[in-house]
A and B are shown apart, each in its own frame.
Chain A
Amino acid sequence: MGFSIWVWRLGSVGGRLLSLPPLSFIMYAAIFFLLKRKSLVLVFHFICKLRMIAMATGVAAGTSNFHFGGIRCKGQSCQQASLVSSLTFNGCIQRELSWSFGVSRFLRFQRFNFSHSPVSENWKSLRTVPVLSCLRDGSVKYFDFSVIGSGVAGLCYALEVAKHGTVAVITKAEPHESNTNYAQGGVSAVLCPSDSVESHMQDTIVAGAYLCDDETVRVVCTEGPDRIRELIAIGASFDRGGDGNLHLAREGGHSHHRIVHAADMTGREIERALLEAVVSDPNISVFEHHFAIDLLTTLDGPHAVCHGVDTLNVETQEVVRFISKVTLLASGGAGHIYPSTTNPLVATGDGMAMAHRAQAVISNMEFVQFHPTALADEGLPIKPKKTRENSFLITEAVRGDGGILYNLGMERFMPLYDERAELAPRDVVARSIDDQLKKRNEKYVLLDISHKPTEKILSHFPNIAAECLKYGLDITSQPIPVVPAAHYMCGGVRAGLQGETNVRGLYVAGEVACTGLHGANRLASNSLLEALVFARRAVQPSIDHKKSTSIDLSASNWWTRTVVPKSLGCNVMHNILRRTKEVRKELQSIMWRYVGIVRSTTSLQTAEWRIDELEAEWETYLFEHGWEQTFVGLEACEMRNLFCCAKLVVSSALARHESRGLHYMVDFPHVEENKRLPTIILPSLVNCTWSSRQLHKLPVC
């Protein structure tokens, strides 16, 4: 009895030295002495596996520490978030845990002779085992704060934290190239005396199909007006009324006039004002054309800690490693997992994929917002020479002014789905169009407004008229080809009320985050608001975290170097790029066909195996042509991020056995009260594909 206590004490001391739980430490020590030094690699593998189990169980158990709306117990109902994890993940935990417990029980009663020094020495050498190359390739930069993404969330945050330290804003193209720039509508906030926070909250919760987190909604609706005033102070100019007050518009779903806007380009105006301020701030350095590859993380007991990000300078083709105390992920959405999207080309879900690989929890990915009528290039008489970067959405006003929807057989189908026909709510119209397209196996439907007077059409819709005419279509006499387009991702990296995630030092804000504000459907103009509020809320915790952290200057050596594939020839690269482009189109068509607006269990399962198959095929192609595990390239990294996001969407969709908001299942067509929970995806233990593991780690399986 006394001996086992002694073993336990030494185990816990040694464990604390190496940040391991005592049981694991004892086990490692036992294995080490049993197997002697020859099996260092084996020991290292065990350590990694057990750490991941410990961390994963820590995440599963410790989520109560973390401010989840879905997991806190409230008055009436105790909401336990529904956990989605693959079967392999569950099986793995049980097997490994029982193995480790069995062994430790056995070890407790054995006699050991060991001291700390050999083990700690070996730990250091174990730690340096993964480093394969030195600082030849690219450089390392040290900043207090790293911001990934230059949309409204990233820039707002950067401007605030710049008062407390150095900031690096990392953006993958031009700084103004972000979803924010295209969000031309407006920002919603309670700015009218006759309006109220409760009303805004109610509208948000109703739109979100009651899946919103009440606390988050209250916080956002309350803090919104102050954020707008701050934006005005920074220099954004919004439209005003004759009396000098802000002019507030009223958008669908809002019960009051509360949309602040700048003519027709609110997002662009906000982005312009913020960029101006950022460029003139001496503490902020903007790194354009830097594509973020992976977050640099270590495990501290059961928690993952983020120390920075690996990026690829696309212009100079160099890898640049950013080491920072705090990282904000504000990289936007993932529209490009679908073939037709309003998002610019940069929206490939990089942030969500990186966070998932970095062991962050992802939530509500199944809620993808589609607009029912975007101009379908396939239906235009003269096909556009280049693929359109982001879809041209045809406004609801066309239907409101009398436009009729026909399928390609010239049948008016809307009355079959809803008695309001074309004036049914947008999601009903989107579902109906999708249903028609799938039933008839067609690419687009037709929206006809040619029966209305020519002058009215041209005066109300000159942009559509001009755009269509460019491609040989006269909307005053012919119908417009339309198809639904992906617009916004309501889900993303799970964030608490301060934008914090389960990865220490990693904060999220904007479309990439799932804060619980949008629930199952986003209320119009709430996305810019969410970005503003959460970017601000993440500032104070970031500053506190920064003060309590110190950067280890040798930190950049803890992770393998990712390299640019200079050794591959031009021909090989060309083939790889060509194949990657094809695979991307293939993935998009799988997503649209099986994981579109109307889903079913069979279609989702088909999507799941087809995506896995496609991914395996693509990775085989890459590695057969000489691509190494640590190689990075813009198109390949984007592709792996797209695969990751697509799989997250599919598994989330499979987990929700009801239809709520944006997620519609043919097998479960109704809302189920007992399923009113967020969908949570925990980090997976099994990460055997190139897209599911960080490039700077050794493969574990």
Chain B
Amino acid sequence: MARNNLGRIFASIADLSAPPKLSPPLVGSSNSVSRLIRSSSSTRQENSPVKEPGETVKSNQESEEIVDDQEDENEEDTGDFVNKDTGEVGGPRGPEPTRYGDWERNGRCYDF
């Protein structure tokens, strides 16, 4: 039920991002929107193969929670996030990007 609503929300956002030529600020936001759609759709895709090979209900719930967390994160993107360990304001969520010496964001390395 919740997912259907989300589907409708994402569909409407996808409509908004439809125009081909956008000025730079809009391109930025449509990139984040498309990232949002991609990440949530991919997590939804991941959930369906995960369900099939007889996984326990518990792990399903966990993965659903992760999806919800990510959706919450993405919706709160504009708000300032305060990192509990470092006290950083407006920084990236999740593990520290430089924990292994390179600049990492969601698994992608940007510099080293």
Q: A396 interface residue, CB < 8 Å from B?
A: yes
A241-B107 in contact given A251-B98, A252-B102, A458-B46 (Cβ < 8 Å): no
Of A241, A393, A465, which one neighbours B109 at CB under 8 angstroms?
A: A393
When chains A and B are docked, how far (Å) is the Cα of A182 from the Cα of B103? 12
Q: How many A residues touch the partner, as a band?
A: 35 or more
Q: In the complex, are the beta carbons of A241 and B86 less than 8 A apart?
A: yes
Q: In the complex, are the beta carbons of A463 and B89 less than 8 A apart?
A: no
Q: List B contacts of A400 (CB < 8 A).
A: 99-100
Which residue on chain A has the smallest CB distance to residue B102? A396
Q: Name the residue among B70, B91, B104 with the largest chain A CB count within 10 angstroms.
A: B104
When chains A and B are docked, how far (Å) is the Cα of A155 from the Cα of B100? 32
Q: In the complex, are the beta carbons of B102 and A395 less than 8 A apart?
A: yes
When chains A and B are docked, how far (Å) is the Cα of A462 from the Cα of B82? 21
Q: In the complex, are the beta carbons of A242 and B49 less than 8 A apart?
A: no
Q: Name the residue among B45, B100, B107, B110 with the largest chain A CB count within 10 angstroms.
A: B107
Binary flags per residue of A457-469, CB closer than 8 Å to B gives 1, else 0: 0111111111101
Chain A proximity of B83: nearest CB distance (Å): 8
Within 8 A of A (CB), among B3-39: 24, 38-39
Of A183, A461, A469, which one neighbours B110 at CB under 8 angstroms?
A: A183
Within 8 A of A (CB), among B50-83: 50, 59, 62-63, 66, 70, 82
Q: List A contacts of B24 (CB < 8 A).
A: 176
Q: In the complex, are the beta carbons of A252 and B89 less than 8 A apart?
A: no
Q: List B contacts of A525 (CB < 8 A).
A: 103, 111
Q: In the complex, are the beta carbons of B101 and A249 less than 8 A apart?
A: no
Q: A263 interface residue, CB < 8 Å from B?
A: yes
When chains A and B are docked, how far (Å) is the Cα of A285 from the Cα of B90? 34
When chains A and B are docked, how far (Å) is the Cα of A264 from the Cα of B82? 15
Q: A435 interface residue, CB < 8 Å from B?
A: no
Chain A proximity of B54: nearest CB distance (Å): 14
Q: List A contacts of B111 (CB < 8 A).
A: 183-186, 251, 524-525
Q: In the complex, are the beta carbons of B102 and A463 less than 8 A apart?
A: no
Chain A proximity of B24: nearest CB distance (Å): 7
Q: Name the residue among B95, B99, B110 with the largest chain A CB count within 10 angstroms.
A: B110
Of A241, A242, A395, A458, which one neighbours B108 at CB under 8 angstroms?
A: A395
Q: In the complex, are the beta carbons of A371 and B112 less than 8 A apart?
A: yes
Binary flags per residue of A508-546, CB closer than 8 Å to B gives 1, else 0: 000000000000000011000000000000000000000
Q: A367 interface residue, CB < 8 Å from B?
A: no
Q: A240 interface residue, CB < 8 Å from B?
A: yes
Q: In the complex, are the beta carbons of B63 and A524 less than 8 A apart?
A: no
Which residue on chain B has the smallest CB distance to residue A369? B112
Q: In the complex, are the beta carbons of B104 and A247 less than 8 A apart?
A: no
A239-B88 in contact given A185-B103, A259-B98, A466-B42 (Cβ < 8 Å): yes
Which residue on chain A has the smallest CB distance to residue B103? A185
A524-B88 in contact given A183-B111, A469-B42 (Cβ < 8 Å): no
Q: A394 interface residue, CB < 8 Å from B?
A: yes
Q: List A contacts of B38 (CB < 8 A).
A: 466, 470
When chains A and B are docked, how far (Å) is the Cα of A476 from the Cα of B111? 25
A396-B109 in contact given A242-B89, A243-B87, A466-B38 (Cβ < 8 Å): yes
Q: List B contacts of A396 (CB < 8 A).
A: 100-102, 104, 109, 112
Q: Name the residue among B39, B91, B96 with the largest chain A CB count within 10 angstroms.
A: B91
Q: Name the residue among A249, A373, A459, A462 with the largest chain B CB count within 10 angstroms.
A: A462
Q: A203 interface residue, CB < 8 Å from B?
A: no
Of B90, B91, B107, which one neighbours A395 at CB under 8 angstroms?
A: B107
Of A176, A239, A252, which one neighbours B91 at CB under 8 angstroms?
A: A239
Q: List A contacts of B82 (CB < 8 A).
A: 242
Which residue on chain B has the smallest CB distance to residue A426? B112
Q: In the complex, are the beta carbons of B104 and A395 less than 8 A apart?
A: yes
Chain A proximity of B78: nearest CB distance (Å): 12
A249-B96 in contact given A239-B90, A241-B88, A426-B112 (Cβ < 8 Å): yes
Q: List 28 A-B contacts (CB under 8 A).
A: A185-B103, A186-B111, A241-B87, A242-B87, A247-B86, A247-B91, A251-B103, A251-B111, A251-B112, A264-B105, A264-B110, A371-B109, A371-B112, A396-B101, A426-B102, A454-B59, A460-B94, A460-B107, A461-B106, A463-B105, A463-B106, A463-B107, A464-B107, A466-B39, A466-B42, A469-B46, A470-B42, A524-B112
**A residues with CB within 8 A of B:** 176, 182-186, 239-243, 247, 249-253, 259, 261, 263-264, 371, 373, 392-400, 426, 454-455, 458-467, 469-470, 474, 476, 487, 524-525
Q: Which 8 A-B pairs have the closest CB atoms?
A: A252-B101, A461-B107, A185-B111, A185-B103, A463-B106, A242-B87, A395-B104, A464-B107
**B residues with CB within 8 A of A:** 24, 38-39, 42-43, 45-46, 49-50, 59, 62-63, 66, 70, 82, 86-92, 94-112
